[in-house]
Amino acid sequence: MQDEYRTVAHPGVHETEVNRSRFLCALAPAATEQEAQDFLAAVRKEHPDASHHCWAYVIGADASVQRAGDDGEPGGTAGVPMLQMLLRRDMRYVVAVVTRYYGGVKLGAGGLIRAYGGAVGEALDSLGTRTRRRFRLATVTVDHQRAGRVQNDLRTSGRAVLDVHYGEQVTIDIGLPDAEVPAFRAWLADATAGTARFEPGGEAYGDA
């Protein structure tokens, strides 16, 4: 499983112009294929008079789902270069739709490939991306007397504190990189005089 990937920080649109043709690249996060297709449908609806709505999306931290479409442009000149740009930038869980308003000048196959791939690259640069890193989920159980200090130390050291539950003891749900688990166990034992319990869980992705 991939240790980290990048996705778009938020939905947005960036416009470029090539030989009088306007290229509007709309980017958005997409957790599923359905979300990606819904976004494409929304862009089509917003620009019903555009010449083309070419698209590409990558779903899955390991890029298990990759789809692209040329929407009437010559085969392989739009959707594929858009998809290749997303993959080159390590983008995941993202959909890109490039809406073209034809400006009267034919670009040729090479020009189209550069224009569509370039529109996605410029949009990523303009709108910004964020890195998501794979974390080991774990639960720390500690007595009330030590819980405050443990929570404070976790946060000041930049650990991902996901949730805190108060009962007979305090359970703190955290996320940390796999490579740091042994060192964290040692720190926790030292910080709580061996009284805390550490239970590793599954995996998830969070902001790096």
Instruction: Write the CATH number for 199.
Output: 3.30.70.240
Q: What is the pLDDT of residues 133-188, one digit of tens each?
A: 878 889 999 999 999 899 888 888 877 788 899 999 999 998 888 778 899 999 99
Q: Can you give the CATH number for the domain in which 34 is found?
A: 3.30.230.30
Task: Based on the fold, state whether residues 161 and 113 are members of the same structural domain.
Answer: no
Dist CA 175 CA 139 (whole Å): 9
β strands within the chain, DSSP E: 4-8, 12-18, 21-29, 52-59, 65-69, 94-101, 129-142, 160-166, 170-176, 197-207
Do 23 and 114 lie in a common domain?
Answer: yes
Q: Are residues 121 and 137 in the same domain?
A: no
Return the pLDDT at 207: 65
Q: What mean pLDDT is reported for the chain?
A: 91
Using N-to-C axis directions, what is the helix angle for 144-156 and 181-191, rounded to 10°?
A: 140
Give yes or no: residues 44 and 123 share one domain.
yes
The reply to whether 102 and 151 lie within a common domain is no
pTM (2 decimals)? 0.72
Which among 102, 127, 152 is the end of a domain?
127
User: Does 39 share its domain with 120?
Assistant: yes
Other beta carbons within 10 Å of 56? 29
What is the model's pLDDT at position 48? 95
Q: What is the pLDDT, as a whole number, of residue 156?
A: 86
**Residue numbers of the domain that contains 178:** 131-207
Same domain, 167 and 87: no
Considering the domain architecture, whether residues 71 and 123 belong to the same structural domain is answered as yes
> Alpha-carbon distance 2 to 135, whole Å?
11
- Which amino acid type is present at position 110? G
Q: Does position 65 have pLDDT exceeding 90, yes or no? A: yes
- What's the rounded mean pLDDT across residues 86-108? 93
Q: Residue 123: is its pLDDT beyond 70?
A: yes
Residue 68 pLDDT > 70, yes or no?
yes
- 123 & 136 share domain: no
For residues 62 and 122, state if they share a domain. yes
| Amino acid (1-letter code) at residue 131 | T
Among 95, 127, 159, where does a domain finish?
127
CB within 8 Å of 19: residues ≥ 6 apart: 103, 105, 107, 111
CB-based contact 71:99 (threshold 8 Å) = no
**Residue 101 Rama label (left phi>0; alpha psi -120 to 50; beta):** beta
117 and 26, same domain (yes or no): yes
What domain count does the chain have?
Answer: 2
- Give the 3-state secondary structure of residue 174: strand
Overall average pLDDT of the 46-63 stretch: 94
Q: Which of 72, 103, 127 is the last residue of a domain?
A: 127
For 129, other C-beta atoms within 10 Å of its C-beta total 17
Contact (CB, 8 A) for 24 and 126: no
State whether 54 and 123 are in the same domain: yes
